[in-house]
Structure 1
């Protein structure tokens, strides 16, 4: 197995990319840098050799495997979504980046299908996640990179800069409070202010309340000015038989889902205009629970749904 030092240059580059997303770097330059980074991460994990299959114990028919082995291996990787061959990934990323730039300000990504878009972004995000899992386990790096991919992509397609937290005046001479939404795209629709807010989560689990609370605050402070969607990686969790050692041979994978909680938040807290996944739970897609927001893929978001989300709800062109 490659030694940990192989990740040193990638960690350094990751920190530079993370800072650049808030430094007014042009979106096309940012996306190109992210692409180069994703290619390096994919090359690193490609050198780990064949992935090891793990048991899928969730809903529907899926196939998962992990990079590395005992004692350090990656999270489960969806075999149907991950582009395993390195040169295939390079070509796929270049095609995606070219089409995003060709469609800048068009609001919709044309010339490439939603399924292909989803595979490319999934492969980029999971290559970095896998590299971190195997070589330097650390929380948060995969989720941050997911946000970094989504930001410039939507920025180029929408023609709106990718910004972050929203300041809200609380009155009484107090300093503004910040609602720390991951990405916001401020703009106008027919001369009126409108913002697409995009929190991102590599998985929601117990953290699904945050985007709902933020959406409620934004709608209360700026009625009719915000549309909120949530972009998510997956809802998978590694599980092991009771009492068994947490080693690769005993590992299984299933979803951790909270449909009742989401339905309650939708009814009593706020409305999200979509849950957009890289690897969506089949239960949410095939048998969407009552009172749920729309559940689709990131590919659907970029290739189909973005134009309607860039205008206020109930507006007509």
Structure 2
């Protein structure tokens, strides 16, 4: 894992200093795929018992087993992944609003493969670094989004000082940042949320229109699902409704049931609906592997739940929709 950890630290430094890092991320994913192919087995693990049933695979070595992997979305072969990524980059020569269903599916699967390759390596060989795959998810997505919004301003922080009027906005109101330091990074830790700013994973701002897209990236929402809704409530209160909008982008909600050798989808639809209705509405919830419960009509009526491929299209529409 030393090569993966060293590369990830270097990519993190590029990202934090706003330097190009997408190709470095792709090289790291290829290294992870090669390591998994050479040193781990990739086999059927069990089904999610839904409608329909979904088969999941997992990587194993002599000591550990990885998180469940959806084989229909995961490009196990490094060469296939590179081909799909290169075709995706060609798709960005056209704006995402012109994408076909196949192009959205390709974008979804490239993101899923990239994040899951890193996550599975950490599952097998570095189990103590639970937060690092989520950090890579943020870095990888930011690199791809730079292809779509190259002229826009990217940041992680939203200044709040001018709205505080000398009053402290306590840490209970502004929840802790989701960004985590990558193990081995020698840089000074990034400041967490304070009384003067709100931190999230990524903010993309169209300087000419003033509109900003706030994007929390989460491998799973089981922890701190309230955070994006709480942040949106603060932004609506501070800036007015419409200036900032949140799109929550996730990988899956799968969980292994090792006792019964099956996969569960752990969802909290009641909680999400409660926050969407009574805390602050977000614009969309996106998954590479959409949980079946979130694809149900009652959820879709209240909060659009789509693929990560659709996210690129909707993010483009957000900045180009008429006021």
Q: Structures share a fold, TM > 0.5?
A: yes
8 A contact 1:108–1:157 mirrored in 2 = no
| 8 Å contact kept, 2:88–2:103 | no
In structure 2, the residue matched to 1:183 is: 202
Taking the TM superposition and a 5 Å limit, the aligned residue runs for 1:76-115 are 76-100=68-92, 102-103=93-94, 106=95, 108=97, 110=99, 113-115=103-105
The secondary structure found in structure 2 opposite 1:78 is coil
Q: Which one of the candidate residues 142, 154, 161 is aligned to 2:145?
A: 154
1:193 alignment partner, SS class: coil
Matched, 1:204 2:221: yes
The structural deviation recorded for 1:283 is 2.2
- Mapped to 2, the partners of 1:168 and 1:86 lie a distance apart of 44
Q: Could you say which residue in structure 2 is the equivalent of 1:4? A: none
Structure 2 match to 1:270: 280
Q: Which residue of 2 aligns with 1:18?
A: 12
TM superposition score normalised by structure 2: 0.83
CA shift at 1:276, angstroms?
0.8
Instruction: Please name the residue that 2:230 is paired with.
Output: 213
For 2:126, the equivalent position in structure 1 comes to 136
Q: How far off is 1:82 after superposition?
A: 0.5
Instruction: Tell me if 1:227 matches 2:227.
Output: no
CA offset at residue 57 of structure 1?
3.3
| Partners of 2:269 and 2:293 within 8 A in 1 | no
- Shift in Å at residue 206 of structure 1? 3.3
In 2: Cα distance, 1:130 partner to 1:233 partner: 13
* 1:43-77 deviation digits (Å, cap 9, x = unpaired): 11121354121222342321111111453111110
- The 3-state SS of whatever aligns with 1:39 is helix
2:302 is matched with 292
8 Å CA contact retained: 1:107, 1:158:
no
Closer, same or farther in 2 for the Cα pair 1:84/1:192, shift >3 Å? closer
Query: Structure 1 pair 109/290, CA: closer, same or farther in 2 (3 Å)?
Result: closer
1:58/1:255 contact within 8 Å kept: no
Count, aligned residues = 291
1:236 is aligned to: 254
CA contact (8 A) 2:41 2:61 kept: no
Give unpaired runs (5+ residues) of structure 2: 169-193
1:12-57 superposed Cα distances (whole Å, 9 cap, x missing partner): 11011112212121xxx32112111111111111213541212223
Q: Equivalent of 2:50, from 59, 72, 75?
A: 59
Q: Is 1:259–2:269 an aligned residue pair?
A: yes
Cα RMSD for the two superposed structures? 2.2
Q: Distance in 1 between matches of 2:98 and 2:301?
A: 29
SS at match of 2:206: strand
Aligned to 1:119: 109
The residue number in structure 2 matching 1:247 is none
